Amino acid sequence: MEFLKKLGIEGTNLGTSTGQKFIGSGAKETISSHTPIDGSQIADTTVTTREEYDQVVNTALEAFEEWRMTPAPKRGEIVRQIGLELREHKEYLGRLVTYEMGKIYQEGLGEVQEMIDICDFAVGQSRMLYGKTMPSERPRHRMYEQWHPLGITGIISAFNFPVAVYSWNAMIAAVAGNVMIWKGSEKTPLCSIAVQNIIAKVLKRNDLPEGIFNLVTGGREVGEWMTEDERLPLISATGSIRMGKEVAKTVAGRLGKTILELGGNNAIIVSKDADLEMAARAIAFGAVGTCGQRCTSTRRLIIHKEVFNPLKERLVEIYKEVNIGNPLKEDTLVGPLIDQQAIDNMQNALQEVQDEGGEVIYGGEVLENKQLDGGHYVRPAIVTAQNDWDIVQEETFAPILYLTQYSDLDEAISLHNGVKQGLSSSIFTLNIREGETFLSARGSDCGIANVNVGTSGAEIGGAFGGEKETGGGRESGSDAWKAYMRRQTNTINWGSEMPLAQGIEFDVD
């Protein structure tokens, strides 16, 4: 396919890169990438060996010596050029994201646009790595703080956003003076290679050293090399809660730093004072977009009892109109799940709901016909359930929307917060008191809380992340840049005496 050639994807691709070149040989273990659209093989990617991994780390350490001393605005200039290069390749990379991951083409393009947007944001940030000046209690002393890069930022990303989440980390970390080692998902290795090829064009054009933007490829073993490696002071990991707990334990054991973006079990409260049509459309996008495979997907719907039936009926109407099929086609709104395991997980979850006494109101079927042969297609499901059921408490990475009722706002907030995850949240209401209560300290306990906005579609200008077992990490906008740097407090004595703090007297003859 033409877009694969434009991105430098061939039959067998080297999966280890030190920035401008790929290293290793094809005569070793490989990962086969298959499209979830029809199950066909796209290409192979070599798996990083331990020897190659150490070569990447050593190259990154050498590059850091030069990159950290490059003025931050000049680092920002490199990121600006990466953004321009992404603009040139937006159509091709967006199509690859769709082809390898399965989200619809508009969402694939949107993911690349997120990369472009974060590049723009990071360019501005490169001139705003501010420290504070503080008054000293000692005469003729000046106190201030400044921020320095940490070193190598290890980035472990997931299949559902195979390129955007990497850029949230990498572009901010780069302007902060860090170098990067990225392990993308083994389910979408070609997206990682394509991004590396795009960045390499900028690195070569600017005659930059190897080792600033690095790539390793593989599964759990390669990720463990990174989390155990003391040469990587920061690990930013996106994935399941189970994975995140292992990463946190390992990195903390060596007193390293982590940014964790883990599971989401996101809910929307729908008030009796809501604009139901606005709510229904936001719910549908949040619940079925990316076939329910976003960390911010809407999974729980907490509806006031007075509007429960009208909203339920409207959602069924919308779901019936959703076109499911090949995500590369313009009229498709829901593409496939990533693989057969995802289908099995969805079917098991639906069976558990019914065993508990819940009802499948609509959908849930595995779809098989000539047009969908070989792919992993399902019909998004709407079900009734209780918030405290075990299956509702867990995050099933599939398009299942759990509906439950409430009587008053305190009950709704209690149900909303009654899960172990805390990523994204929303309330739909035209009652200002309800909206402000939801955003107050007694409201949503999530890292993201919205009023009359769905749970999906966060902008890069705000810090992205969640609380509780979502991990507590923050990426992207606001002051998330601080996570990639170390704070240093400085004191300068410009006088001729040596006074001590706290008025301590220590005279030496």
Residues belonging to the active site:
261
Give how far the C-alpha of residue 208 lies from the chain's centroid of Cα atoms, to the nearest Å.
28
Cβ atoms within 10 Å, residue 152:
26
Strand 266-270, strand 424-428: pairing = parallel
Contact 180, 171 (CB under 8 A): no
Buried b (16+ CB within 10 A) or exposed e, 419-449: bebbbbbbbbbeeeebbebbeeeebbbbbbb
Smallest CA-to-CA distance from 437 within 462, 466, 411, 455 is with 411
Quick one: 37 exposed, middle or buried, by C-beta within 10 A (0-12, 13-18, 19+)? buried
Contact 284, 319 (CB under 8 A): yes
Smallest CA-to-CA distance from 326 within 274, 278, 373 is with 373
**Tokens describing residue 225:** 């090399």
3-state secondary structure of 422: strand
Contact 423, 447 (CB under 8 A): yes
3-state secondary structure of 181: strand
3-state secondary structure of 407: coil
Q: Which residue has the tokens 């009926």?
A: 313
> What is the 8-class DSSP label of residue 387?
T
Strand 141-149, strand 485-493: pairing = antiparallel
CA separation for the pair 350, 347 (Å, rounded): 5
Classify 8 in phi/psi space as left (phi over 0), alpha (psi -120 to 50) or beta.
left
Helix, strand, coil distribution of the chain in percent, nearest 5: 40, 20, 40
Contact 79, 128 (CB under 8 A): no
